Amino acid sequence: MTTTPTRHVRLGAQQRLRALTSDIMELILERGLLPGDALPTEQELTAELGVGRNTLRESIKVLQALGVVEIRHGFGMFVANDNLSALADSLTFRGRMSLQHKGHEASELVEVRQALEAGLIGSAIDAATPEQLAALDAAVTEMERRAEAGENFVAADQEFHRLLFSCLENELLTNLLGVFWQVYRTIHDAVGTGAVADSDGGEDLRDTARIHRDILDAVTARDKPLASELMNRHFDGIRGRLAVFAGGA
């Protein structure tokens, strides 16, 4: 098959753009810039990198989309503050798109969250304080109260998972779990289970609240194997639901 010259030009431009975005990220690292720090001006960057203004602006747009750079109009370009919003948007899109063709990526996203939470729950048990256990109990109690009333308890569910791992004091982990929660909720809504935060089609509100209570009991008892097993069981339902949904899509 003969490749047209136009395609060669397009590929060359894309490669140059990727190289330039890489050069800008290297510049940020080499200068030790931190989130919130100002980048060199547009004029300084074009001179230092040896590129035109339009090419630089295209590269900056890419870095904005990646969450590396932010532009404050009237002030200049800055290293973006720590956030994973770009990752969340990308993973959410990929998960939803995959539901239209067998759902493999959506299932993989759920599997990653499952691996994180089931794998780290032992460390969370070691670090949990009485105050954090009390806060977890309050979250589960709220879930149980709402379940009895037939009410949605998405906020309490999310708070339970946030509190469970907050004792590890790992900001990146907290942000990453937040990303997976956002992606996970979007996938749930897409398969028609948005009324219950972490349940599958065979569970009801009481069942979902009950498994959270069981997880908390295992955490309180410092039973790491049981806590991990329960957390894995907690995610098995939605993975089965995804498989059924994708099979009928």
- What beta strand segments (E) does the chain contain? 69-72, 76-79
Distance in angstroms (rounded) separating the CA atoms of residues 121 and 211: 15
Residue given tokens 């089609």 in the structure block? 201
pLDDT at 93: 76
Distance in angstroms (rounded) separating the CA atoms of residues 60 and 209: 46
Residues 6+ apart with CB under 8 A from 169: 127
DSSP-derived letter for residue 2 is P
Residue 200, CB half-sphere, CA atoms under 13 Å: how many? Answer: 15
What are the backbone angles phi and psi of residue 147, rounded to the nearest 5°?
-60, -45
Contact (CB, 8 A) for 182 and 88: yes
Residues of the chain predicted below pLDDT 70: 1-11, 82-83, 98-103, 188, 190-203, 238, 241-249
pLDDT at 8: 40
Amino acid letter, residue 181: W
pLDDT at 193: 45
> The pTM is what?
0.67
Tell me how far CA of residue 48 lies from CA of 18, 39, 176, in angstroms: 17, 12, 35
Distance in angstroms (rounded) separating the CA atoms of residues 42 and 76: 8
pLDDT at 202: 36
